[in-house]
Structure 1
């Protein structure tokens, strides 16, 4: 593997990239058999307090757990909670998986819910099975094929992919930057970045990855600047369409206030 200095021998470019280093909570997955309701997981059945109504789409069909993070099981990432569970639900009855392309903050087809106190009584697996039993699912719109434990580590990431953040920092789009600074070698350098730096994957915080493009590039007055959560396709049994990725964004203010009601949701694939 090449180091950052080997990838960017030009000192100005190296310094610019190095200054974008941030810590992220990177996730891996493990098929660990039956998991408790409060375990950090992708797919399956999670914790949901009975103090709240179970989330549904506009047709009254229940949303499905995409993933949940129990922060007490994870190393702490600055600015993110230290305790409780943050859960992400999407609409698996919908071929767009709950995404509103015209208004990706419209949460009628998805929900992000934060349970600060997870000692309160939760719906049981059996009760959630009963909820879904009323709505037989004919089409196979599935992202997580199973229930997989999520493990987290703090890792560094660099801003080296095309995104809204890249343009804000470098003043131009990623591909224009590469052509300007590397000319005919731009494609080779891009390939080396992909091969040697972690740019995709499932994570919390840091910089997003897209198989297509960042939907925020076309928005005015972008406030959802923080990557709240990203779930990437994984060979263990996670697949967005044709090897895609799903992202959730939040504003700095809402993250600081632990307000997860105004979130931007996006997913795309090849």
Structure 2
């Protein structure tokens, strides 16, 4: 981590804010929904999900049509993250309406026991949504690598640094004490924020539209659509879960937010 010169004296304090995260590397398969031949249980963006035969495929709240898989994470494929599941599938579904695409998103968790059940393999019913513009992006496989992640000024993270509970306030006071103007202060903030602006599981959320407390919520997914081939989105998807729920693989209170750039 390369710090701005004004932050170097506070390097030890900043490093105390370190969290473990898992970076998501996306690789396009070049195949779209109906042609997706990747494993049903692998971690992916779009494509065909794992659905046990005894479980209903999710339908859209408004469209009443089958929803499409936005992301699927197989926790067995992730490097270990403290407080996160080590097995099971996390799935995020959405319906392809411009106004409600993530407002009506559904998050569900499939346990390892459920993964042992026979899955549905006939996805012909998805042909009715195959022409949705949001599915013009092909299926992408997720690869994972462990990363060190540091706090950012993008959200309302609750932190402790040099007498401040907000990283931006700390940087702003530091900049003003050194006679810097607003643009220079923003440059310092950006130099920190760049270390958390990537697709990942865990670490610090870079979402800005909704208040986010690091004390209460955990970042389960941050998906940067700039990493997606032929992306129909221009922002990032965030999934936050209460920490006490996450420890029990409970995603019923998950919050899904999509923020445009």
TM over 0.5: yes
3-state SS, counterpart of residue 198 of structure 1: helix
Aligned CA-pair RMSD: 2.7
Question: 1:128 is matched with which residue?
Answer: 123
Question: 1:269 is matched with which residue?
Answer: 260
Deviation at 1:129, TM superposition (A): 3.0
Question: 1:209 is matched with which residue?
Answer: 206
Q: Is the 8 A contact 1:240 1:246 kept in 2?
A: no
Q: Is the 8 A contact 2:3 2:191 kept in 1?
A: no
Q: TM-score, normalised by structure 2?
A: 0.82
Question: 1:189 is matched with which residue?
Answer: 188
Shift in alpha-carbon separation, 1:115–1:71, aligned structure 2, 3 A: same
What pairs with 1:57-76 in structure 2 (closer than 5 Å)? Answer: 57-59=60-62, 60-76=64-80
After superposition, the C-alpha distances for 1:22-70 in whole angstroms (9 at most, x for unaligned) are 1011100112463111111111111111221111122322211011111
| Structure 1 alignment gaps of length 5 or more | 100-108
Q: Is the 8 A contact 2:239 2:256 kept in 1?
A: yes
Instruction: Report the Cα distance in structure 1 between the residues aligned to 2:136 and 2:52, rounded to whole angstroms.
Output: 22
Q: TM-score, normalised by structure 1?
A: 0.80
What pairs with 1:1-150 in structure 2 (closer than 5 Å)? Answer: 3-4=2-3, 8-10=7-9, 13-32=10-29, 34-59=37-62, 60-99=64-103, 109-117=104-112, 118-124=115-121, 127-130=122-125, 132-133=126-127, 135-136=128-129, 140=133, 142=134, 145-150=137-142
3-state SS, counterpart of residue 187 of structure 2: helix
| Structure 2 alignment gaps of length 5 or more | 31-36
